[in-house]
């Protein structure tokens, strides 16, 4: 199913994190951005990684890097947390529609159960069912 606006907000807020890679550290690292130094290995282009959980913090960092003409690249990746599969299933299904179907199924089961209980509480209905079963037995 198509993702709803709420699903996209859930993914942006709780699932995705933005990694910004640069050659040298920026002048200012905004609040909410975690800095990590990458090990020096042959073939690695970037030496610093900055992890931002919100797009506002990432935009502030990117603005700082652009202002000082630094080379950088960004990647959006999923966080490594226990709740990520609940907020963003791997098969790109909508969490909102799944919750709606579960809720509708529970309400339907409740209505059907109450209707059957009300029917079987009626002695005339029980007598008719017992009579029908006796006729079917022969």
61: tokens are: 């960092």
Q: How far apart are CA 11 and CA 75, in angstroms?
A: 15
* pLDDT tens per residue across span 4-63: 999 999 999 999 999 999 999 998 899 999 999 998 888 888 999 999 999 999 999 999
Q: Does residue 1 have a pLDDT over 70?
A: no
Q: Does residue 87 have a pLDDT over 70?
A: yes
DSSP per position, 66-135: HHTT--EEEEEEE---TTHHHHS-TT---HHHHHHHHHHHHHHHHHHHHHHHHHHH-HHHHHHHHHHHHH
* pLDDT tens per residue across span 92-131: 889 999 999 999 999 999 999 999 999 989 999 999 999 9
At residue 33, the pLDDT reads 95
Q: How far apart are CA 105 and CA 127, in angstroms?
A: 31
Domain borders along the chain are: 5-86, 95-137
At residue 16, the pLDDT reads 94
Q: Return the beta strands (E) in 2-64 as ranges.
A: 16-22, 33-37, 48-52
DSSP per position, 59-84: HHHHHHHHHTT--EEEEEEE---TTH
Q: How far apart are CA 50 and CA 116, in angstroms?
A: 60
């Amino acid at each position: 199913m198509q993702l709803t606006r709420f699903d996209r907000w859930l993914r942006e807020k709780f699932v995705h994190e933005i990694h910004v890679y640069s050659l040298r550290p920026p002048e200012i690292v905004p609040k909410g951005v975690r800095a990590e130094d990458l090990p020096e290995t042959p073939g690695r282009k970037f030496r610093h990684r900055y992890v931002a959980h919100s797009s506002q913090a990432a935009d502030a960092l990117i603005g700082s890097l652009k202002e000082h003409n630094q080379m950088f690249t960004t990647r959006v990746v999923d966080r490594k947390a226990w709740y990520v599969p609940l907020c963003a299933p791997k098969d790109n299904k909508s969490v909102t529609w799944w919750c709606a179907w579960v809720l509708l199924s529970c309400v339907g089961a409740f209505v059907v159960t109450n209707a059957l209980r009300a029917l079987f509480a009626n002695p005339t209905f029980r007598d008719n069912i017992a009579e029908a079963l006796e006729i079917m037995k022969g």
